[in-house]
């Protein structure tokens, strides 16, 4: 095993923890999937690594890196299991977390609820200082006052502290001094200052993001430290990287300092993998669909690129209603949650209607069919009842499913209450989740100016390939691709992501008044800061910088992000910048206003290292026939005929390049199952991708 190098991708989801081990010498893959251990996620990580030893004995000392994605941060926020956090802010701003934007997310719901602030009012303190919006010191900071409020918070038993002073994005002098004083008084206290976490305009979003970072920082640092120690005890001596929400990877130390940046680390990896596969096959418009045990998320990739957004929400009170969650203002791939996952619970609502989700059975106790004590019917129970899953081949047979338990749960808690048969109830659960996802997907695609009738749907996750066929029919997508190892797609996607980091700094100035030399200096400072972060990974050569700026019309409330070609900013003419803005604005909104003044709001830099070479190996050709790949037949529910019909069951691992299969067919592998109806055909390419096309593009 000497002179071989391994890399491991590990994705901790709400229900399962996925592992993909790649041998960089031979390009061979080893995979494993096990239930997540919510009490201590590192337990599942150790279990998976030990299990992979059976497939690649002695690989651990030869691992050069582990790339890790985790739901630890978002779960801590949703479940309110973060650290006891205090806030130091400018006098008059302690209630900004409740005031927010003073916008009702549902104007007609008089009972609408809002998320509870992560820092209670009793743990928010103020200091009498003030910096103006252009960075001038209006009221000086009093050191004695800072020490007094810090002692008050320490006496209240805080474990972490957030510092967010008004306009510190323009001048961080006061915040830096507050941070220094806090660290002198309490050297072991976890501290998050907004000028480091998010030096960006908009007080509510900046405070919310900084508070969130402080809230989860202690548990993230503790987890990453514990994980690192466990990995070392197993013999791992390489580097531990963490997936960022923005689509890059970073060191564990950086992730520990800015855990707010890894909230969406898992789902993002599937998008990065989709981009990689799109480049492989020359497909520019892709709808990435990742359905796991807890959630289903999507992203529209246009012209080969996935959009980045600067703000998203977590912990929504109303899962699909924008404005009902906590705003987080960090770069994140433009993901949309379009539905529930395999573990989402089905029930009868107060209105007497079938409802699926948003709550999930998770890994403990899991769906009823897991046989671990779960009594509520879930999407997985419905899929098993409809014949799409083999109770004796779930996870390759390592985790048999209890079909009778699934029947009991659906019958008692759905079918009887609806006066329906068991099969009608199971189909209702399956079809409702498909319909919910289809409605959200159509909206998501339309908002981005896309056309669902031309996109290629790529399915990931344990449940994604099961539901991809039904979803594609409902949105009218003509083609589905299921990549190899789709059931562990996020873990595989980690290998396609570059080491990267995004930085932003707000500086509001009109185009007519801007000093381009000062802007070039701002960009240069951001690049130097980003370079220092990337160099923690050990690499120093080949850093690439991508610049962009947020601009808007003077008086406007929203900005347009403009990529700036990488040349010195002071070499640009103001008229050139204006032309770029007008062209982009017109493309987005159909018209522009050439006589209206425009202004800069924020400046952004993305620094990235050259991507590690990665490719899916070609699968071996076979002299066998399609008949050799067939495992048998199984009765499964037809979405077209609304009854059980025979489906051909195929072993995906035996399929060979050029194989073509007519539906109805079920293609099984250890980590996922692909369902293809009778109006579609499947074909296998040289890399083992399953390409599903519809006959006549029929819809239901």
* Greater model confidence, 309 or 213: 213
- End-to-end CA distance of the chain, in Å? 53
Which residues, 6+ apart, have CB-to-CB distance to 326 below 8 Å? 77, 115, 118, 208, 212, 313, 314, 315
Q: Do domains 80-216 and 266-339+443-496 have the same CATH topology?
A: no
For the chain, the farthest-separated pair of C-alpha atoms sits apart, in whole angstroms, at 82
Alpha-carbon distances, residue 458 vs 103, 242, 350, 366, 498 (angstroms): 36, 24, 36, 26, 21
Residue 365: pLDDT over 90: no
Residue 289: pLDDT over 60: yes
Q: Using CA of residue 457, residue 462, residue 467, residue 471, what is the dihedral sign?
A: negative
Domain 80-216: assigned CATH number = 3.40.50
Residue 173: pLDDT over 90: yes
Query: According to the model, what pLDDT value does residue 319 have?
Result: 61
Tell me the CATH architecture of domain 6-76+222-262.
2-Layer Sandwich (3.30)
Ranges of each domain in the chain: 6-76+222-262, 80-216, 266-339+443-496, 344-430, 500-608, 626-694
Residue for token digits 């490719």?
Answer: 615
Tell me the CATH architecture of domain 500-608.
2-Layer Sandwich (3.30)
Residue 623: pLDDT over 80: no
pTM: 0.84
Domain 266-339+443-496: assigned CATH number = 3.30.420
Measure the CA–CA gap between 79 and 511, rounded to whole angstroms: 45
Number of H-type helices and E-type strands within the chain: 17, 35
pLDDT digits (tens, 9 = 90+) for 385-428: 999 999 998 888 888 999 999 999 999 999 999 999 999 999 99
* Type and span of the H or E element at 548: strand 544-553
Measure the CA–CA gap between 73 and 118, rounded to whole angstroms: 13
Say which DSSP state 159 is in: S
* Type and span of the H or E element at 561: strand 560-564
Query: According to the model, what pLDDT value does residue 318 have?
Result: 72
Query: According to the model, what pLDDT value does residue 691 have?
Result: 96
Best CA proximity match to 671, nearest among 12, 8, 9, 20: 20
pLDDT digits (tens, 9 = 90+) for 64-113: 999 998 878 887 887 788 999 999 999 999 999 998 888 887 788 777 88
């Amino acid at each position: 095993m000497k002179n071989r190098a391994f890399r491991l991708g590990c994705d901790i989801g709400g229900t399962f923890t996925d592992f993909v081990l790649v041998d960089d010498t031979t390009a061979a893959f080893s995979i494993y999937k096990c239930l997540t251990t919510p009490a201590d996620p590192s337990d599942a990580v150790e279990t998976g690594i030990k299990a992979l030893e059976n497939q690649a004995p002695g690989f651990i000392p030869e691992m050069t890196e582990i790339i890790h994605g985790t739901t630890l941060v978002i779960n801590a926020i949703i479940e309110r299991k973060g650290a006891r956090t205090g806030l130091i802010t400018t006098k008059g701003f302690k209630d900004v977390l409740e005031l927010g934007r003073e916008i009702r997310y549902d104007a007609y719901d008089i009972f609408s609820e809002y998320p509870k602030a992560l820092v209670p009012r009793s743990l928010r303190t103020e200091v009498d200082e003030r910096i103006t919006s252009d960075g001038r010191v209006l009221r000086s900071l009093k050191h004695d006052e800072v020490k007094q409020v810090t002692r008050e918070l320490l006496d209240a038993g805080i474990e972490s502290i957030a510092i967010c002073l008004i306009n510190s994005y323009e001048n961080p002098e006061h915040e830096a001094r507050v941070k220094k004083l806090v660290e002198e008084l309490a050297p072991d206290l976890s501290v998050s200052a907004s000028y480091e976490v998010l030096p960006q305009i908009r007080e509510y979003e900046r405070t919310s993001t900084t508070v969130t970072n402080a809230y989860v920082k202690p548990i993230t640092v503790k987890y990453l430290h514990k994980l690192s120690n466990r990995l070392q005890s197993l013999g791992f001596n390489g580097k531990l990287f963490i997936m960022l929400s923005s689509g890059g990877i970073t060191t564990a130390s950086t992730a520990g300092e800015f855990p707010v940046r890894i909230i969406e680390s898992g789902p993002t990896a599937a998008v990065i993998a989709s981009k990689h596969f799109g480049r492989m096959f020359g497909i520019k418009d892709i709808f990435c669909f990742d359905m796991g045990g807890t959630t289903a998320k999507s992203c529209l990739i246009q012209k080969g690129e996935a959009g980045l957004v600067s703000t998203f929400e977590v912990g929504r009170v109303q899962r699909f209603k924008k404005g009902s969650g906590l705003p987080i203002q960090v770069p994140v791939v433009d993901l949309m949650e379009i539905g529930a996952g395999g573990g989402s619970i089905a029930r009868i609502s107060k209105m007497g209607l079938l409802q699926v989700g948003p709550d999930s059975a998770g890994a403990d106790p899991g769906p009823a069919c897991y046989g671990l004590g779960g009594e509520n019917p879930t999407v997985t129970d419905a899929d098993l009842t409809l014949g799409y899953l083999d109770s004796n081949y779930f996870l390759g047979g390592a985790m048999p499913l209890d079909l009778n338990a699934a029947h009991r749960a659906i019958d008692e808690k759905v079918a009887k209450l609806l006066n329906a048969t068991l099969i009608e109830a199971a189909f209702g659960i399956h079809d409702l989740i498909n319909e919910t996802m289809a409605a959200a997907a159509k909206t998501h695609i339309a908002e981005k100016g896309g056309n669902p009738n031309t996109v290629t749907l790529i399915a990931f996750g344990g449940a994604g390939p099961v539901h991809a066929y039904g979803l594609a029919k409902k949105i009218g997508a003509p083609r589905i691709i299921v990549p190899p190892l789709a059931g562990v797609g996020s873990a595989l996607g980690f290998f396609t992501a570059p080491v990267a980091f995004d930085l932003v700094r707000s500086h509001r100035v009109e185009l007519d008044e801007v000093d381009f030399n000062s802007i070039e200096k701002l960009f240069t400072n951001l690049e130097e800061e980003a370079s220092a972060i990337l160099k923690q990974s050990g690499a120093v050569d080949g850093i690439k910088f991508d610049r962009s700026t947020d601009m808007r019309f003077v008086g406007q409330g929203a900005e347009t992000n403009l990529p700036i070609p990488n040349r010195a900013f002071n070499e640009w003419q103001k008229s050139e910048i204006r032309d770029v803005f007008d062209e982009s604005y017109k493309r987005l909104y159909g018209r522009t206003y050439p006589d209206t003044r425009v202004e800069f709001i924020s400046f952004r830099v993305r620094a990235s290292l050259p991507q590690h070479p990665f490719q899916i190996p070609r699968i071996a050709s076979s002299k066998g026939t399609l008949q050799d790949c067939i495992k048998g037949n199984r009765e499964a529910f037809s979405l077209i005929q609304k009854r059980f019909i025979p489906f051909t069951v195929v072993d995906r691992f035996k399929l060979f390049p050029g194989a073509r299969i007519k539906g109805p067919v079920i293609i099984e592998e250890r980590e996922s199952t692909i369902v293809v109806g009778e109006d579609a055909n499947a074909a296998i390419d040289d890399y083992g991708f399953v390409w599903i096309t519809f006959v006549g593009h029929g819809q239901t």
